[in-house]
Amino acid sequence: MCSRSVFDPLVNAYDAARPSYPTYLFQDLERLAGSLADARVIEVGAGTGIATRQLVARGARVIAVELGEAMLSRLRERTPDVAGAVLGDGEALPLAAGVADLVTYAQAWHWMSVPDAAGEAVRVLRPGGSLAVWWNDVDAADTRWWRSQQTRLEAMSPGYDRDYRIRPWADELRWTGNFADVVTLTGRWEREMPIDAYLTWLRSKSYVAAIGDRLGDFLGSERDSLLHAFPDGMVVEPFRTVLVVARTDA
Ligand SMILES: C[S@@+](CC[C@H](N)C(=O)[O-])C[C@H]1O[C@@H](n2cnc3c(N)ncnc32)[C@H](O)[C@@H]1O
């Protein structure tokens, strides 16, 4: 059977190497959308459950919705306290109207048609509930190693553009006319990891998988470039988080 998610074949690399989200992001989310303790949260594009487990740890009752069967099955194995985990599409949620306090998309909103997914989020939210979308974006444009990686990717991965996630996320939500209030918060953090783990993180990305037959060449060039930039073998990668919270009318 053909997978419905480009991430299904990447599930092991995804689970092993994708970063979780910093604590401050959940504190900001609670400040803008209310306490997560006992909140009814629908998490769409939940993947292997990286954000799911962080939401559950803060007391949320999370129903995870995910397009990929392999991703969802890994989430179920790794997240025993999830309230529900269903195969489904963010643009046609398999859920009744008004059942959620919060609908979230961690690193997944850019896969959606905004008007369709925003309409679905509003349908399943109670009045006054919120939609929250967020990302960990690599924030390394001032480093030579990252710029040369991106140049290689743009040459080798069909259609890839390093700025693919630069979009007016808050305005796109305002333009739907569905929300009373839309707020964006950003923050910065970094992580340090051995080069092999960093290469696994690269392999978890759909646009790296799209390189196809030349993936080995790409990863070989990356290893050389990273060893040059980080001679001790530990890659330091800066991130910028972007959190957008859109509240519906009460
Ligand atoms: C980059 S991953 C993010 C996974 C997880 N939220 C995290 O923070 O690691 C994007 C996920 O969205 C899922 N996805 C893509 N389009 C979707 C859709 N229309 N409905 C539901 N899930 C979708 C993919 O299968 C993938 O698991």
pLDDT at site 86: 98
Per-residue model confidence as pLDDT tens digits over 59-115:
999 999 999 999 999 999 999 999 999 999 999 999 999 999 999 999 999 999 999
| Tokens (6 digits) for 176 | 């739907």
Residue 71 near residue 5, CB atoms below 8 Å = yes
Q: Which atom of ligand 1 is nearest to the CA of 4?
A: 25
Q: Which segments in the chain show pLDDT lower than 70?
A: 1-3
**What residues form DSSP beta bridges with 203?**
none
Q: At residue 205, what are phi and psi to the nearest 5 degrees?
A: -95, 135
Residue partners of 160: CB distance under 8 A and separation at least 6: 153, 154, 207, 210
From ligand 1's centre to the CA of 228, what distance in Å? 34
Measure the CA–CA gap between 204 and 9, rounded to whole angstroms: 9
| Tokens (6 digits) for 141 | 């444009």
pTM value? 0.97
Residue partners of 119: CB distance under 8 A and separation at least 6: 176, 178
Domain covering 8-139+162-190+237-247: architecture: 3-Layer(aba) Sandwich (3.40)
pLDDT at site 158: 97
Residue partners of 10: CB distance under 8 A and separation at least 6: 203, 204, 205, 206, 209
Question: What are the domain boundaries of the chain?
Answer: 8-139+162-190+237-247
pLDDT at site 2: 54
pLDDT at site 94: 97
Of the chain, the end-to-end C-alpha distance in Å amounts to: 44
From ligand 1's centre to the CA of 43, what distance in Å? 10
Measure the CA–CA gap between 160 and 210, rounded to whole angstroms: 9
pLDDT at site 1: 41
Residue 75 near residue 46, CB atoms below 8 Å = yes
Residue among 72, 111, 112, 205 to mutate when testing ligand 1 (max atoms within 8 A of CB): 111
pLDDT at site 4: 81
From ligand 1's centre to the CA of 144, what distance in Å? 30
From ligand 1's centre to the CA of 165, what distance in Å? 15
| Tokens (6 digits) for 91 | 């643009």
Query: CB within 6 Å of ligand 1 — which residues?
Result: 5, 7, 18, 44-47, 50-51, 65-68, 71, 89-91, 106-108, 111-112
Residue among 3, 4, 5 to mutate when testing ligand 1 (max atoms within 8 A of CB): 5
